[in-house]
Chain A
Amino acid sequence: MSDKLKDIISKQAKNDEIEVGHGDDIVQLVGFIIGEEEYAVPILSIQEIIKPMEWTRVPQTPGYVLGVFNLRGSVIPLIDLRLKFGLKAQKHNEETRFFVLKQGDDVAGFVIDRLTMALRIKKSDIGPAPDTMAGDESLIDGVGKQADRILTILKVNKLLERDFS
């Protein structure tokens, strides 16, 4: 039994090494799917990830602002990233999650289609956003490349910034 345990532990340790290496040029991200694409945000910007709950519509806001919801006593805006990214609305299902992102005092919930995984990625594997999408106004921070996939890394501060009046 203990042998098995040791085995597992050593395996995990090895895995870690393979995936990460050590040092500070590693970025930890959490990946999620919206529509067909995989996106990611830095793990530290995530306050929590929760299952969908009831929300209240707020009038005079663009369609992608679904409204506000109650997160343990705080009233937090809820933004549908599908709508924000110009995709069609989709009914919330078993895999739908609310991503609660936080930066400074700004907090907002974002509806995503489903979670993929937490991942560590080397800084050197992150390329800049495509020229057409770069710039201060862009939501895209960079593009992360991993063996079999490409992640679009989003700017949390841009996501949390109000872009309507």
Chain B
Amino acid sequence: MDEFQEILQDFLVESFELIEQLDQDLVELESRPDDLELLNGIFRVAHTVKGASSFLNFDILTHLTHHMEDVLNKARHGELKITPEVMDVILESIDLMKTLLNVIRDTSADAGVDVSECVSRLDKISGGDGEVETPVVEVAPPVEEASQEEPEENEPQADEPDYENMGEDEIEAEIERLLAQRQEEDKAKREAKIAAGEDVPAPPPAPSEEDEKKEEAPKAEAKKEAPKPPAPAAPRASAKAESASDDEPKAAAPAARAASNVEQTIRVDVKRLDHLMNLIGELVLAKNRLIKINDDVEERYEGEEFLEELNQVVSIVSLVTTDLQIAVMKTRMLPIGKVFNKFPRMIRDLTRELNKKIELEIKGEDTELDKSIVEEIGDPLVHIIRNSCDHGVEMPEVRAAKGKKESGTIGLRAYNEGNAIVIQIDDDGKGLDAEMLKNKCLEKGLITEKEADLMTDKDAFALIFKPGFSTAAQVTNVSGRGVGMDVVKTNIEKLNGIIDIDSEVDVGTTIKLKIPLTLAIIQALLVGVQEEHYAIPLASVLETVRISTEEIYTVENRSVMRLRDEVLSLVHIGDIFEVERILDSSEHAYVVVLGLGSSKLGLIVDTLVGQEEIVIKSLGEYLKGIDGIAGATIRGDGGVTLIVDVADLMQMAKGVKTQALSETSSAVNKEKTSASDYTVMIVDDSKTDRTIMRKSLEPLGIKLIEASDGQEALNILKNGEDHYDAMLIDIEMPRMDGYTLATEIKKYNKYKNLPLIAVTSRTGKSDRMRGVESGMVEYITKPYSSDYLSSVVQRNINFKSEFL
């Protein structure tokens, strides 16, 4: 059974691939009905599927494909003209075939689909024309078939094929041979049935060898009314088939043909590739971490010899990781042709439905995209192209009146542009009318009059992506149901893509989709706000500018700035993400200019951290769909950084009121009622020194907290358990020295006025200068008397003498 499953899998994969090709070929065939090459190709597909499905005992599928094969066979011998009506039936049968294959995929059996109606229509076509023609020609197909496809049939066969030692081509050949053999068996079976007077599901021109059968088959068809159970015939048939196949001359390797066009490929389970991609993601994170550590080490051991070596290793690792990442990404790439393939058929159906004449031009179908994107891009493209057909291209008469060619053209192009791929859909239809769009939106209340006035044409074009918008005066089956383009936009943005739309009235419309090559790993700009970091996908970042707070103007409660000759609306990232303002904002800020399609937004951040390659991780079921957050990534230091969802952000920005940039926190200075209400922190790495200070200050009765270095002190402050009235800080300490500590503390709004007193044995003038620069108010040199220390502290904390 397992073996069967395996064969079945291969069969399905192959069949789906063939059918995809088939759709396209058939549409092409309609325009070039006498292209024999094309016809032969199409015929072979039907034939192959038939052969394989009969091998796997999918009777209904075999039945259907068999009839298709008949029609095609006639066509290919010029007995049947491919008219659009004929094509309709053929296409319908291919749809049925797809349905059947889907059913087979899901249930491993082909039951439950009624093909009889389609089959009878196929018969009508083949039968009707076939009877007029002389049946003699019918002799040819199987023979020609055999000679075309299995030239090996007539060659003698090596006794027992050695499968182990076969090359790929040879195996291919062997499979072909077995298939051929199977076909022979089928023929034999049919013969047997006919001989037994059985009802044969095969219609007239079965690819059999004897022409007499051609005459007999219709009769068999006619007998359908009273079919006898085929069971009794079966054993005989198979017995006969076996002997028949034994007698068949068998094939040797037709290596030459196979070798020329078979690519060296293996099929790999997608899951494995996904796993590989995940692993690469981890590796990229580890690489980032390594680079960070390398930087730290470099700083600390500047000039050491081993650094050179470390540098080399790090750069090799990062280089190889990048290469590896690209290589794995490539394994996941699929040509976009996979998606494009279905459009010729779609356009064909649409033109018939809409009574328009449209030609589709496809270019760049070899352009490759990540598998997951290829899967996602299909639906948006369908929407866009339907729209172009329905609303874009005019009716032939209208076109003629405008002096255009009667048949419209829709161009579908894909090409690479930097780290992204662009899919461009052009039509030469009536184009978009900016004024009309605006009026429509005003009517529907989607925009206000004021907004409409401010809109450029490009902004107006983007209106078609608004939910609830539809320009079609008449709702048709094809489009204009008010869903669609906004869904397209959402889907494209989900892929981190950008939509650009351009149009000219009566000339046409161009829609460009710019999509990143892969989803899993992206370039991002890391920005800081207060103590938090966020990652912004670099694809949406147009530029960054440093501005002073004076350049920010407020217009109608919204912040804006002038960027060259444009007015850019601004929003502070802290307002969007509810970041608590603990650090004092400086008078300078950075503005990250975000662009998504035609809309722009300036995002104010406190710092720019840099550009980094990040691996997108989901936030999981519990936190998914948080507004403005697309996911998370793990940084070099092991921390988690959230990734901004630019599309969401732009939406949210509309609702955010900007807080005044310099919001002063009200210092909570409670009235001191006793000496123990005062708290002083002592920061010194020496236990002895701390004890000396404690001894000096204890008599005051104030609360004393100790920290053994700058880092610890800062952590205590950050936790903010107590309110501190002063700090005594040693300068030379491990981990974080006194100057750094003072600088860090002064960054916090609420410690602006906290007196910092340096207690040190450094006495140089420059030391004192540095102390002042970093925000120290007093400078006590060791050794000092307890009284002096005590008095300095008292003075700085405004100690009330009555507590003494």
- Chain A residues packing against B (C-beta within 8 Å): 54-61, 65, 67-70, 73-77, 91, 105-108, 160, 162
Contact = CB atoms under 8 A, between A and B. Distances in A.
Contacts of A77: 619-620, 622-623
A68 B629 CA distance: 12
Nearest to B629: A58
Contacts of A68: 619, 623, 632, 640, 642
B530 to A, nearest CB: 10
13 contacts: A56-B639, A58-B623, A58-B626, A58-B642, A59-B628, A60-B628, A61-B626, A65-B623, A67-B640, A68-B619, A70-B638, A75-B619, A108-B622
Nearest to B282: A73
A13 B190 CA distance: 76
Nearest to B638: A70
A73 B642 CA distance: 14
6 tightest A-B contacts by CB?
A59-B577, A56-B640, A75-B632, A77-B622, A75-B617, A162-B622
A56 B635 CA distance: 12
Contact of A73 (B285, B619, B627, B641): B285
B721 interface: yes
Contacts of A65: 623
B624 to A, nearest CB: 8
Contacts of A74: 617
Given A54-B639, A59-B629, A65-B623, A75 B721 contact: no
A107 to B, nearest CB: 7
Given A61-B623, A160-B622, A70 B640 contact: yes
Contacts of B576: 59
B621 interface: yes
Nearest to A106: B621
Contacts, number: 71
Given A75-B620, A77-B623, A55 B640 contact: yes
B578 interface: yes
B633 to A, nearest CB: 8
A60 B622 CA distance: 13
Contacts of B642: 56, 58, 68
A113 to B, nearest CB: 17
B405 to A, nearest CB: 53
Contacts of A107: 620
Nearest to B615: A73
Interface string B591-625: 00000000000000000000000000111111100
Contacts of A58: 619, 623, 626, 629, 642
Interface in B642-661: 642
A158 B402 CA distance: 66
Given A68-B619, A75-B618, A76-B620, A60 B627 contact: yes
A89 B506 CA distance: 65
Given A60-B577, A68-B642, 7 more contacts: A56-B640, A61-B623, A70-B638, A75-B620, A75-B632, A75-B634, A107-B620
B229 to A, nearest CB: 50
A60 B626 contact: yes
Nearest to A108: B622
Contact of A70 (B623, B639, B719): B639
B532 interface: yes
Contacts of B617: 74-75
Nearest to B719: A91
Contact of B721 (A59, A91, A162): A91
Contacts of A57: 532
Task: Select the residue from B578, B626, B640 with max chain A CB neighbours within 10 A.
Answer: B640
B722 to A, nearest CB: 12
Given A75-B632, A75-B640, A59 B620 contact: no
B609 to A, nearest CB: 14
Task: Select the residue from B623, B628, B634, B642 with max chain A CB neighbours within 10 A.
Answer: B623
Nearest to A79: B622
Contact of B620 (A67, A91, A106): A106
Nearest to A165: B625
B622 A56 contact: no
Given A76-B620, A106-B621, A108-B622, A69 B640 contact: yes
Given A70-B639, A75-B634, A91-B721, A56 B532 contact: yes
B192 to A, nearest CB: 55
Nearest to A162: B622
A165 to B, nearest CB: 9
Contacts of A56: 532, 632, 639-642
A106 B532 CA distance: 26
A105 B576 CA distance: 30
Interface string B255-295: 00000000000000000000000000010010000000000
Contacts of B285: 73
A57 B617 CA distance: 16
Interface in B565-583: 576-579
B582 to A, nearest CB: 12
Contacts of B620: 75-77, 106-108
